[in-house]
């Protein structure tokens, strides 16, 4: 298969198999597998809406997700979930198939939390499967946006065995504004964030990959205006799609 298909596990069973293959060498892989075993297969969401926010760093996800959570009196979750976040540095240094299996596993573990939380309140999520897929596709493809897999390719499909959200909102800002926000934050950059800043082609591939996702697709939101304006736009979209 093409590199991007090899890198992206298409199901929970595929990523389990990949983690088992390296569990003897990486003890943390065994720990992730233990957490996955506790997650029921084919999670079902509750009656409350599940809303995902996607986008590059410094597009306002943290601010917007917190504001939406407070407004809707909801629950805020993040991917990868807190129970495995401590192992990110271990897996970030591993070969691509292992690294991507870790991040994919985070989505299935998160799905278990979503299923439970959505029976009690609206669920707001800071990144989910689309992030895993978009960064994988952009990393495993070199060159320009035109070099990405074609728009209808299987890599843009949501996994059949992963709980789906009701709405996915993709926050975007002008590249210069995003860099200004990053500098203002002064936080230590991840390797991928450093790559985004240094390599405009990589950034374009990530954003275009987000736009090509289907079932569910991303609804794009311009996050350049004031926090109040962005929140107003987001709440209108939530009312429209999650009545």
How high is the pLDDT of residue 185?
57
Q: What is the mean pLDDT of each run of 10 residues along the chain (243 residues)?
A: 83 95 96 95 92 89 95 96 95 93 97 97 97 93 91 94 97 75 58 64 92 96 92 96 85
How high is the pLDDT of residue 66?
96
Kindly write down the DSSP assignment for every residue of 115-147, as one continuous string: HHHTTTS-EEEE--HHHHHHHHHHHH--S-GGG
Torsion angles phi and psi, residue 79, rounded to 5: -115, 135
Output the six-digit token pair for 14. 């595929």
∠ CA 165-167-168, rounded to 5°:
95
Q: Is the distance from CB of 23 to CB of 98 less than 8 angstroms?
A: no
The string of pLDDT tens digits covering residues 27-64 is 999 999 999 999 988 889 999 999 999 998 778 898 99
Residue ranges of the alpha helices (H) in 119-226? Answer: 129-140, 175-185, 191-198, 200-212
Fold classification of 3-242 is: Rossmann fold (3.40.50)
Torsion angles phi and psi, residue 218, rounded to 5: -90, 135
Q: Give the span between the Cα atoms of 156 and 4, in whole angstroms.
A: 11
Q: What are the residues whose beta carbons fall under 8 Å from the beta carbon of 183, sequence distance 6 or more?
A: none
How high is the pLDDT of residue 199?
75
How high is the pLDDT of residue 198?
58
Q: Which helix (H) or strand (E) holds 41?
A: none
pTM: 0.90
Q: What are the residues whose beta carbons fall under 8 Å from the beta carbon of 23, sequence distance 6 or more?
A: 29, 30, 33
């Amino acid at each position: 298969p093409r590199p991007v298909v090899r890198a992206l596990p298409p199901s929970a069973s595929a990523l389990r198999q990949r983690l088992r293959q390296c569990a003897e060498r990486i003890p943390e892989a065994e720990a992730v597998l233990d957490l996955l075993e506790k997650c029921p297969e084919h999670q079902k969401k509750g009656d409350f809406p599940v809303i995902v926010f996607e986008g590059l760093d410094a597009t306002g996800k943290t601010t917007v997700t917190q504001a939406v959570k407070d407004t809707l009196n909801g629950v805020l979750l993040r991917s990868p979930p807190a129970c495995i976040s401590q192992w990110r540095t271990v897996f970030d240094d591993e070969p691509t198939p292992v690294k991507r299996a870790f991040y994919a596993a985070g989505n299935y573990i998160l799905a278990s939390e979503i299923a439970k939380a959505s029976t009690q309140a609206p669920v707001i999520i800071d990144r989910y499967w689309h992030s895993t897929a978009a960064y994988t596709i952009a990393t495993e493809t070199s060159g320009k946006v035109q070099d990405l897999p074609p728009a209808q390719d299987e890599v843009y499909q949501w996994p059949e065995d992963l709980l789906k959200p009701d709405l996915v909102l993709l926050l975007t800002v002008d590249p210069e504004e995003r860099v200004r926000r990053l500098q203002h934050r002064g936080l230590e950059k991840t390797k991928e964030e450093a790559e985004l800043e240094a390599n405009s082609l990589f950034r374009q591939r990530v954003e275009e990959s987000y736009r090509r996702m289907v079932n569910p697709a991303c609804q794009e939101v311009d996050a350049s205006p004031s926090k109040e304006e962005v929140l107003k736009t987001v709440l209108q979209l939530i009312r429209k799609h999650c009545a």
